[in-house]
Structure 1
Amino acid sequence: MRLKILHKNDIHSNFENYKKIVTLINLQKDEDTIILDGGDFADFKSIELQGTRGMAAIELLASAGYDAITIGNNEMFNGIDTLELMASSSPIPFISNNLLKKDRSSINGVKPSVILEKNGLRILITGSSPDMGVFNDGLGIHMTDYSKAIKEEIYKNKGKYDICILLSHIGTFADESLAKEIKEIDIIISAHDHKLFEQAKIIDQTIMNSAGNYGEHIGIMELDILDGKVHLVHSETISTKDIKESEQIESILRFNKERAIEALSKPLYTVEHPLWHDVVEENPISNLIADGLKDMLGTEIGLINSGICNAGIFHEMTQKKLIEICPSPLNPTSFEMQGKYLKEALEQSLDAQICLADGRGPGFRGRFVGRLHASGLQIEHDGKKIHAIYVNGDLLEGERWYMVGSSDYLQRGSGYPCLMNNRNEKYLAEEIKDVLRLYGEKQDFCEESFLHRWKEVSKVRG
């Protein structure tokens, strides 16, 4: 018996490439084909998804004839209510065997596994989602042990299927261990760590493949199933670079973008004075976020990198502009840090090359790292070195631990590695864009954002 699997993973709402993927799907699929997704299809940086609460993603998947998708971390990032709406409205099974609500109840529409039939072949498909650790509570979710959950689904469906496929959003390293540990898994579609396999791997008779990320490739596996054994006949990952875009997907995107823009264009507030933005120079919009973080988290210091924003606010703010200005799904985070590491990071921030470095990191949707902006600090410098830092009027002490309100990006040391030297971190479920949404309409905070926190020594001391 023949089976062909077309698969992709970690699209992250790169819909320009998805148009090409659907063209390839239509060229490659036949009567023996199933189409699978390894998760992180829906990244809510997308206007189309934000403005339709994820329903545009369902239309896009359904139009290409997908058979199943597992839930990645990005499908969770817009909240449990949005995930429930997507999963319960989708004709395509949303699968996760280890994802529950915080109260341990099931999520409406999410299935731990499904059995598909293709030309008489019974295919058990189960999927595992990544544990978000300290973020679970804020996201309103509870994660169980994925290895145990996979075994439970296999045991529960014993005798009901011919082959077993795991859609795994755990990562390839973990999947290799699963292939060795759970012999009943015949095929693993691997995701989460964005690995690109040129062709499928075979690990202890389990076939494993991953198609990279961002829709730049699609994976293909052709299989023969004989006497209950799965044999790999052919596999490859095909680049989408030179593929024609699907007009059908373009039409769906255009319709949903119009619908989303209408929903997201209602005014939130207006600002009296433009809150302009700059990657290297101190600017009011970054100061506003730092001030908002300090206030929201109740800390001594607020700290943010200007690369978190792509632009400023010049008059009217809408939800659409908010997403465009601050697309990164990063969380307000408090932690304790010694003064010496704060000083080190702030001094590095005087270097324009560090500010203009690639800001790539988990959850970051900007381009550059950007300059550090602070609340509760006065920083005296000469353009290259810091001469003094005052914390709410008192001189910064190198060995003292300070409470800092920031983002999980900086807390992890992204952009400024010395900032990872912290302790007692706590995360909020809100995102940094919510700081702009809440504090941008507060006149006193907007006025305060224009007060400089970085002062050159010549200007301070004459």
Structure 2
Amino acid sequence: MRIFHTNDIHSEYENMERLSTFLKRSKTEHDLYLDSGDVGDLKSLTVIGSKGEVSATLMNYLHVDAMTVGNNESELGQEWVELMASKMPLLSCNLKNLAGEDLIGLKSSVILTKNKIRFLIVGTSPFYGADLKEGVYNFFLELDGLKTLEPIQQIQQEIDKYKGQYDICILVSHSGIETDEYLAKSIDTIDIIIGGHSHTQLNEPLMVDNTIIVQAKSYAEYIGCLEFEYVENKITDLSYQLISLEGEEKDKAFKEQVELCNEEAIKQLNLPVAHIECLDFDLIHECHLVNFICDALKEMYPCDLSLIYHGIVSHQLVGDISKMDLIECSPSKLNPTFIKAKGKQIRDAFELSLDVDYCMQSGRGPGFRGDKLGTLGFSSNVKIINNQLFIDGKELDDNQEYSIMIDDYLQRGARYPSLKTQEKDAKFFKGFIRDVIEENLRNQRCFELCRIKRRT
């Protein structure tokens, strides 16, 4: 019996072309091919433009037998997960809507028979973070109408439900190697865990008690192959290969599938959403585009002030604007975020933003997909006079607490560390900063506010 497996492909389509060649040559009707999630990635225009449907199309082309829902699959929200589940064998026993109800079409598990062996295959999505911290993914999943439940009880329910109806239990897990080891120790009836999420390269299986754990790194650079005999209700003669796909030829037919999906996605993204007057851009100096973002944030979400770093965007916007224009201008996956901070924290960040060399450094950090960091911009109720901050006409008070709209890059303390705020003390909102721009392109008030100078 052979089980092929991949995980965390993240829209690396060229590598998938090699994966397709390998599977066409190697996989037979007697084998299983399982994937542990994060096939798609919002870095891909094809994923964004197709609302993720490309992942289902391509995995069906590869004849995947079952796949679990990763955090990247979840990021497009409940509607898309349900759409994908209607088109392919998608599993998760612990991903639910906000009411704790099952998603339409999403199965917790499936029983498949290969070589007269009955496999119970259970899927699970991420719940634990580092050091097994509970529920860390729900801060953002809940913005999209989803949440994950603690997986142990959910997995055990599937095992109990189908007791006597299967021979081997496989958990297809997008949880990370640390959590997989914990699950193996907690549930002694899981025979095999096909892992993902932590991008771990396991050159040989990890044995935890009687559970076999495998994971195949990421990006379709490798495919794992677990081979064994099943004799007298036991897995025997176990062997494993982590196979590099580097030398495989690219499947031209698979590439054609990608190109068809991409063509339609780009067509959708290029449709105009608004026609606007010029919103100019500068990385270091005050500019209309960053002012616009700050004013839009303050208009949408009540707060004392809003601020954002100029590197969240890369160039001006003018004329007919499409979703593609907005993605190219602001590619980062960063959410509008509400925090509270003392005036001293704001002042420290502002003073850092006055250092041109500091602002010209790379903005690399969680969720950031731009280039340079840039200085800080502020909402129109903030005035900067001789490098002193005034909010609604009053000088910034170091000891006063202010409510602020930023993004989760700043909330995490990236590059402007004084603004770092614990997730439990922040509030996150649906969509990315580019969605804030799009939503306000027809808001004349934001265009008027953005032309009010902040610095004198």
Which segment drifts farther, 434-443 or 421-430? 421-430
Q: Specify the SS of the correspondent of 1:315.
A: strand
Q: Specify the SS of the correspondent of 1:110.
A: coil
1:373–1:196 distance in 2 versus 1, CA, 3 Å: farther
The aligned counterpart of 1:123 is 119
Verify: 1:304 aligned to 2:308, yes or no: yes
Q: Specify the SS of the correspondent of 1:314.
A: strand
* Conserved 8 A contact 1:288-1:440: no
TM-score by length of 1: 0.88
Query: Pairwise CA RMSD of aligned residues?
Result: 2.4
Question: Which deviations, in whole Å up to 9, do the C-alpha atoms of 1:103-144 show, x marking residues without a partner?
Answer: 232211100000111121111111111242233432212432
Q: Count how many residue pairs are aligned between Structure 1 and Structure 2.
A: 445
1:421–1:100 distance in 2 versus 1, CA, 3 Å: closer
1:153–1:342 distance in 2 versus 1, CA, 3 Å: same
Aligned-pair CA distance for 1:205:
2.4
**Taking every aligned residue pair, what percent have the same amino acid on both sides?**
36
Verify: 1:406 aligned to 2:402, yes or no: no
1:294–1:241 distance in 2 versus 1, CA, 3 Å: farther
Q: 1:295 aligns with which of 299, 304, 316?
A: 299
Q: Specify the SS of the correspondent of 2:277.
A: coil
Q: Which amino acid aligns with 1:103?
A: A
Q: Specify the SS of the correspondent of 1:270.
A: strand
The aligned counterpart of 1:39 is 37
Q: Which amino acid aligns with 2:335?
A: N
TM-score by length of 2: 0.89
Aligned runs of 1:97-176 on 2, under 5 Å? 97-131=93-127, 132-176=137-181
Q: 2:270 aligns with which of 255, 265, 271?
A: 265
Q: Which amino acid aligns with 2:180?
A: D
Aligned-pair CA distance for 1:310:
4.3
Aligned-pair CA distance for 1:343:
1.9
The aligned counterpart of 2:256 is 251
Flag structure 1 segments of 5+ consecutive residues without an equivalent: 382-386
* Conserved 8 A contact 2:49-2:268: yes
The aligned counterpart of 1:350 is 354
Q: Which amino acid aligns with 1:156?
A: K
* Conserved 8 A contact 1:305-1:373: yes
Q: Specify the SS of the correspondent of 1:373.
A: strand
Q: Specify the SS of the correspondent of 2:143.
A: helix
Q: Which amino acid aligns with 1:179?
A: A
Q: Which amino acid aligns with 2:419?
A: L
The aligned counterpart of 1:323 is 327
Q: 2:340 aligns with which of 321, 326, 336?
A: 336
Q: Specify the SS of the correspondent of 2:425.
A: strand
Aligned runs of 1:67-106 on 2, under 5 Å? 67-88=65-86, 90=87, 92-106=88-102
Question: Which deviations, in whole Å up to 9, do the C-alpha atoms of 1:256-288 show, x marking residues without a partner?
Answer: 122122223221111212x24454454432322
Q: 1:314 aligns with which of 307, 318, 324?
A: 318
1:283–1:34 distance in 2 versus 1, CA, 3 Å: farther
Partners of 1:326 and 1:205 in 2: CA distance: 48
1:243–1:140 distance in 2 versus 1, CA, 3 Å: same
* Conserved 8 A contact 2:173-2:180: yes
Partners of 2:245 and 2:316 in 1: CA distance: 35
* Conserved 8 A contact 1:302-1:374: yes
1:417–1:221 distance in 2 versus 1, CA, 3 Å: farther
Aligned-pair CA distance for 1:35:
1.3
Q: Which amino acid aligns with 2:55?
A: A
Aligned-pair CA distance for 1:411:
1.2
Aligned-pair CA distance for 1:96:
0.5
